[in-house]
């Protein structure tokens, strides 16, 4: 029977082994929403004390925060989630993390191995749930397999462009005694594949006499170095520099070259690409986001693609090497034209454009913007080159509810940086519990909710398909104005101070306040 009187600290347990191995592999933070089957690991986390634990009120916040942390730091965070249903709540943001190539290790406590056959209420097929968002799902069936399991998990996150691995640990395995095994797990930095000279030769030959070139960057070419290298190549070829439509994290602004974003709708992308040769530098080939009848999925025909570097390749080196083959490329990258920025008229009502203008004025150097939703996404990325140098995180996988938790993770990964969460109101709802973690951890996040009180992207799609927005059922399913959500009240409910801004002047003042606080502030920006 339960021996509750046995001291917990005398015996080294499987949970201690698991933590040692995870720590040795590089993990320093755990975004957690534990339940009963995770308490053995919680107890070990407490004894160990080396891994920072961040609690969230909902699992989607944990996984989104882990994604944001991974994108900003390049390190491997942990998530700790409760059985199949708890993990399921984190799947949407793990889907985005998969598309971003974020290295994450998910930890899921499971029933004791001997209890599974009884099909207790919380039993479910965890593997089936985890597979679609995991490079590998590892079931720790015995205590002496913990170290090799953790090694395999880290190795899985290094496959191709990276991704999450999921470890399922039954309670009896982590509660069993575990002698130190002397094996240990080694930290394995993520290695990008070098691009072979032969591939450079092929690309150079194709581009030699090209009249119209687009350099489309993705992967590691979204870094500051990559943007400069991409700009240099585009300059050398007399072409344009574009980025994939949903970068995991991209550096923009300051003296960096202007980067045009790939458009969204297929007709717009086709027009944007024209008859250019498109150099894929860490980016996937342009495809349509959804399949629309009468439009192709692949938006640039194969013969116009120059496949320089895959997302798992070292696109930065490839870009630099390729630019070196074109005389005059070195250092010729066009800096952004220094267009002046100025606050929009204080008394006027807010618009997406005026929010952007004010943020251009106030955004501090080296800030990080977590960007989600169509209302501000397009407008910001069109103007980002006019801001001070900053990084932008976008929604890579289209699973909405990414922006707020990614801001949490980014702020923890880069405590010196100011984080701005530029966030549509519809998508903010899926993980609004992020606000509580922002308050709890005192994170320097300024949240701007683009409050238009509707699913604007759906209304755009419906209008394109000639479906009337004023039909009662269409309106019932796309309008969010009845009742109108009061984000100021929601934020305060979570301990985050908040301001309502209807005019440019109100926004400017609230933004100044937010950007100077040593903690979070939410601004509800009322948009038409």
Segment contacting its own copies (CB under 8 A): 49-57, 200-208, 218-226, 354-362?
49-57
Q: How far is the CB of 95 from its own copies (least distance, A)?
A: 5
Helix axes of 456-464 and 374-383: crossing angle, nearest 10 degrees: 90
Q: Report the residue number, 364 or 398, with the smaller CB distance to its own copies.
A: 398
495 belongs to the binding site for its own copies (CB under 8 A): yes
486 belongs to the binding site for its own copies (CB under 8 A): yes
Indicate the burial class of 356 (C-beta count within 10 angstroms; 0-12, 13-18, 19 or more): buried
Report the C-alpha gap between 457 and 397 in whole angstroms.
16
Residues 102-141, interacting with its own copies (CB under 8 A): 111-112, 114-115, 117-118, 120-122, 124-125, 128-129, 131-133
Q: Report the residue number, 5 or 337, with the smaller CB distance to its own copies.
A: 5
Q: Residue 273 phi/psi, 5° resolution?
A: -80, -25
Q: Report the residue number, 258 or 299, with the smaller CB distance to its own copies.
A: 299
Q: How far is the CB of 283 from its own copies (least distance, A)?
A: 13
464 belongs to the binding site for its own copies (CB under 8 A): yes
250-252 vs 390-393, strand pairing mode: antiparallel
Owner of token pair 């974020």? 102
Rounded to whole angstroms, what are the CA distances from 69 to 49, 86, 113, 409? 20, 20, 33, 4
295 belongs to the binding site for its own copies (CB under 8 A): yes
Residues 330-359, interacting with its own copies (CB under 8 A): none
**Which of 49-86 are b and which e, b meaning 16 or more Cβ less than 10 Å from the residue's Cβ?**
eebeebbbbbbbbbbbbbbbbbbbbebbbbbbbbbbeb
85 belongs to the binding site for its own copies (CB under 8 A): yes
Number of residues binding to its own copies, judged by CB under 8 A: 109
Whole-angstrom Cα Rg for the chain: 24
Indicate the burial class of 415 (C-beta count within 10 angstroms; 0-12, 13-18, 19 or more): exposed
305 belongs to the binding site for its own copies (CB under 8 A): no
312 belongs to the binding site for its own copies (CB under 8 A): no
**Which of 99, 240, 418, 499 forms a contact with its own copies (CB under 8 A)?**
99
**Which of 75, 388, 492, 502 forms a contact with its own copies (CB under 8 A)?**
492
Q: Report the residue number, 85 or 324, with the smaller CB distance to its own copies.
A: 85
User: What token pair was written down for 342?
Assistant: 């100025």
Q: Report the residue number, 121 or 327, with the smaller CB distance to its own copies.
A: 121
With contact defined as beta carbons under 8 Å apart, do 164 and 107 qualify? no
With contact defined as beta carbons under 8 Å apart, do 80 and 139 qualify? no
183 belongs to the binding site for its own copies (CB under 8 A): no
Report the C-alpha gap between 46 and 159 in whole angstroms.
32
**Which of 31, 58, 154, 380 forms a contact with its own copies (CB under 8 A)?**
58
Q: How far is the CB of 200 from its own copies (least distance, A)?
A: 26
With contact defined as beta carbons under 8 Å apart, do 174 and 168 qualify? no
Q: Report the residue number, 229 or 371, with the smaller CB distance to its own copies.
A: 371
Q: DSSP assignment of 348-377, as one string?
A: SBP-HHHHHHHHHHHPPTTEEEEEESHHHH
**Which of 297, 349, 365, 516 forms a contact with its own copies (CB under 8 A)?**
297
**Which of 339, 472, 518, 528 forms a contact with its own copies (CB under 8 A)?**
472
Q: List beta partners, residue 251.
A: 391
Residues 381-440, interacting with its own copies (CB under 8 A): 396-401, 426, 429-430, 432-433, 436, 439-440
Segment contacting its own copies (CB under 8 A): 301-309, 312-320, 413-421, 487-495?
487-495
Segment contacting its own copies (CB under 8 A): 218-226, 302-310, 444-452, 479-487?
479-487
């Amino acid at each position: 029977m339960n021996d509750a009187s046995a001291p917990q600290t005398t015996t080294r347990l499987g949970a201690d082994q698991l933590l040692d191995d995870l720590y040795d592999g590089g993990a320093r933070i755990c975004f957690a929403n534990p339940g009963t089957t995770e308490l053995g690991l919680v107890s070990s986390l407490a004894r160990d004390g080396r891994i920072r634990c961040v609690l969230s009120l909902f699992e989607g916040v944990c996984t989104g925060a882990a994604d944001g942390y991974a994108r900003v730091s390049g390190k491997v965070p942990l998530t700790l989630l409760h059985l199949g249903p708890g993990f399921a709540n984190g799947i949407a943001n793990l889907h985005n993390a998969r598309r971003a190539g974020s290295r994450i290790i998910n930890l899921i406590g499971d029933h004791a191995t001997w209890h599974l056959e009884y099909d207790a209420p919380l039993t479910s097929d965890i593997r089936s749930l985890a597979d679609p968002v995991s490079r590998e799902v590892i079931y720790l069936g015995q205590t002496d397999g913990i170290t090799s399991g953790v090694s395999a998990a880290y190795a899985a996150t290094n496959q191709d462009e990276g991704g999450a691995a999921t470890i399922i640990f039954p309670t009896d395995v982590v509660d069993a005694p575990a002698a130190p095994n002397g094996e240990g797990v080694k930290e394995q930095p993520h290695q990008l594949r070098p691009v072979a000279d032969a591939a450079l030769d092929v690309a150079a030959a194709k581009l030699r006499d090209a009249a119209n070139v687009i350099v489309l960057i993705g992967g590691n070419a979204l870094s500051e170095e990559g943007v400069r290298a991409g700009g240099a190549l585009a300059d050398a070829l007399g072409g344009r520099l574009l980025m994939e439509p949903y970068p995991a994290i991209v550096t923009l602004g300051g003296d960096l070259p202007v980067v045009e974003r790939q458009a969204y709708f297929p007709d717009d992308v086709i027009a944007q690409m024209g008859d250019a040769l498109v150099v894929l530098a860490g980016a996937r080939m342009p495809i349509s986001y959804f399949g629309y009848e009468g439009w192709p999925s692949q938006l640039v025909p194969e013969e116009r693609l120059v496949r320089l570097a895959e997302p798992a390749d070292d696109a930065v080196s490839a870009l630099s090497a390729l630019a070196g083959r074109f005389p005059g490329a070195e250092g010729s990258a066009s800096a952004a034209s220094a267009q002046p920025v100025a606050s929009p008229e204080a008394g006027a009502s807010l618009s997406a454009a005026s929010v952007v203008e004010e943020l251009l004025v106030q955004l501090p150097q080296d800030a990080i913007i977590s960007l989600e939703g169509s209302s501000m996404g397009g407008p910001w990325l069109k103007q980002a080159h006019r801001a001070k140098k900053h990084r932008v995180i976008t929604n890579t996988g289209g699973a909405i509810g990414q922006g707020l938790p990614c801001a949490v993770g980014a702020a923890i990964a880069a405590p010196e940086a100011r984080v701005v969460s530029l966030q549509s109101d519809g998508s903010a709802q899926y993980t609004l519990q992020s606000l509580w973690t922002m308050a709890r951890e005192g994170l320097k996040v300024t949240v701007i909710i683009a409050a238009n009180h509707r699913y604007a992207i759906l209304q755009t799609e419906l209008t394109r398909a000639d479906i009337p927005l004023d039909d009662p059922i269409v309106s019932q399913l796309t309008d969010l104005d009845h009742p109108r959500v009061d984000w100021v009240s929601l934020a305060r409910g979570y301990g985050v101070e908040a301001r309502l801004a209807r005019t440019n002047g109100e926004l400017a003042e609230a933004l100044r306040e937010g950007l100077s606080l040593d903690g979070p502030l939410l601004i509800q920006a009322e948009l038409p």
